Amino acid sequence: MYQGYWQTTIGVELKGKILGLIGLGKVGSQVAKIGKAFGMQVMAWSENLNLDTCKELDVLPCSKEDLIKNSDFLSIHVQGGDRYKDCITIKEMDKMKKTAFLINTSRGPIISEDDLIIALSTNEIAGAGLDVYEKEPLPENNKLRFLPNVLLTPHIGYVTAENYQIFYSQMIESLEACVNGKPIRVIE
């Protein structure tokens, strides 16, 4: 409204929809609880899916193919790296519902960005919500910036006063420990 816009579209009901989660770890588990609070059916897949966690959260474990085919909202919550690079390409987007939304707050390279631009441009999927990108900051001429069916945020999903308090206090603790010859939080 600050820019003078008023509602010109209608929303989508979450109740009764399927929330598909790629990853059911710390973040994915919390997202599952939120989906349940909205009355969504929640499904999950990952290469190391914990079936006890699925049972505890009342989440249906499934194959990657079933997750992609059945989800109304597909949300990604796995770690970056080669293991999940290009986990979602045009091949997977072609199998998604035309009314589905793809959400990535995990790592940019998990989704093939070029393929996503094609899928969004051709309405192969209804839309996307992205907080992470293959290249950051997202270049000014990136085609994602100009698509009407994508919501973009500048990798701020983790930016909170509480998180920064933890980051900076742990940084000071780590520096002091190193100066005192007793390093902590050592990654081996």
Task: Give catalytic status of residue 107 as yes or no.
Answer: yes
Mapping DSSP to helix (H, G, I), strand (E, B) and coil, where does residue 76 land? strand
Is the backbone peptide bond immediately before 137 cis, with ω within 30 degrees of 0?
Answer: yes
Q: Which of 77, 92, 107, 113 is catalytic?
A: 107
DSSP state of 66: H
Q: Which of 47, 65, 136, 173 is catalytic?
A: 136
Structure tokens at 14: 């979450």
Q: How many CB atoms lie within 10 A of CB 67?
A: 23
**Cα-based torsion angle of the residue sequence 14, 17, 27, 116 in order, rounded to the nearest 10 degrees:** -100
Task: Give catalytic status of residue 77 as yes or no.
Answer: no
Phi-psi region for residue 147, left (φ > 0), alpha (ψ -120 to 50) or beta? beta
CA-to-CA separations, 148 to 29, 111, 120, 144, 152, in angstroms, rounded? 30, 19, 9, 9, 11
Q: How many CB atoms lie within 10 A of CB 137?
A: 9
Structure tokens at 151: 């919501």
Cα(75)–Cα(73) distance, rounded to whole angstroms?
6
Indicate which residues carry an active-site annotation. 107, 136, 155
